[in-house]
Amino acid sequence: MSRYRLYPTPAQEAVLRQHCSDARYVWNLAWNLYQCGTLETYGKASRRVDRDGNEYIHQKRRPVRKLPTFVDQCRMLTEARAENKWLADGSQMVQQQALRDFDQAMRYFFAGTNGRPQRRKKYLDEGFRITGRVGRDWGVRRLNRRWGAVQVRKIGWVRFRWSRAVPACKSYRVNLDRAGRWHVAFAAIPEPLAGPGTGEVVGIDCGVAVSLTLSTGETHQAPASSGRTVRLRRRLDLAKRASNRRGQARKRFACAKARDADRRKDWAEKASTDIARRFDLIRVEDLQIGNMTRSAKGTLEKPGKNVPQKAGLNREILAQGWGLFARRLGQKAPRRIEKVNPAFTSRRCSACGHVDPKSRKSQADFRCTACGYALNADVNAARNIAAGHAVTARGGFGVTRPLNREPQAA
């Protein structure tokens, strides 16, 4: 998506927040219907009574009839708008598109491509979508060299910063980030970047000390988080709940986190674009970042060990932006990406193929115990990845071609 910074007036911002509230409310209604259903959906045997005498639906019961589709939910929405004036005052398109987004999210979940949709919360995932033919003649117009305007339902024209050409599309989404900034994103898929056509292959090794190391010896370092973020987090923890000071501390902390995220996104965009344009075949590590950053707290019966150290390592891993870089690289260079199993790539000698954990003397030094070959440890691992050893994951970012595997020396 092409995203632009939106600058609404105070009056327009109030209506935008109301649209976000309506979209969140309708989304949560649809989510509750899928989670709990109704008494008619699950039958009388699903009725339970808690200790306070309140009735609820037992979720382990199978529904006796199919859950309502998107069309059925739109009919329910029409009935709800007729009964509630405050809901009817909002935009019907915004509310219907929230239902369509939820329906699409459930389709992705049942297809196995995405996780299960969750409830939307205030200050998180705030936004709404508007459909229609958007172009320079309708929906978007350019005011001057730096400014443009987009048309929003029940508001009119809202100014945004014209940082690049606006693509032609049929829908756009207005969202509010945690720092209080408004953005408009036009749903247009950009064309993939073309390779140089030289057949050059590159391997990319991911690390904490050095974010990305290429088999050519080049390095890319993700921007580190600012120390101001840590200080603002401490102030937020010390502030009293439901106080004005806590609200101010939360907003300052959110702004600092948003700036860190913006720097990380800018770095990922530039690095992925540079690599996609220079190499025809790109091999990256098949890292399971979610498993790598799991908490080590454990349970009461079996508490974890070195929990603070593991928490610090998890923060450092997430701050490197490996997942964002890999996703953007796969979108910019589809069918030119291959995932390589990272097992033993840092212990294998790229010259003779000998595998020995003692060969890696430190984080940066590698000296083979068999042939004496010395090289930077990250560059050595990147060369093993570029050679295509132990390619096991297929699909990932795009269609991959099979590789000839070389046996590892004992």
pLDDT value of position 392 = 43
Q: What is the DSSP letter of 320?
A: T
∠ Cα 86 90 96 (to 5°):
120
Short-list 166, 163, 160, 97, CA closest to 138:
166
Q: Where do we find the tokens 């350019």?
A: 142
Q: For the chain, how many residues are written?
A: 410
SS3 401: coil
Structure tokens belonging to residue 81: 């708008």
Q: Could you report the per-residue pLDDT of 214-259, keeping only the tens digit for each?
A: 999 999 999 988 888 889 989 999 999 889 999 899 889 989 988 8
Q: Would the pLDDT of 134 be above 70?
A: no
- Beta carbons of 330 and 393 less than 8 angstroms apart: no
| Alpha carbon distance 83, 77 (integer Å) | 10
Count CB-CB contacts under 10 A for residue 24: 20
Q: Could you report the per-residue pLDDT of 312-350, keeping only the tens digit for each?
A: 899 889 889 999 999 999 999 988 999 999 888 888 999
pLDDT value of position 408 = 41
pLDDT value of position 405 = 38
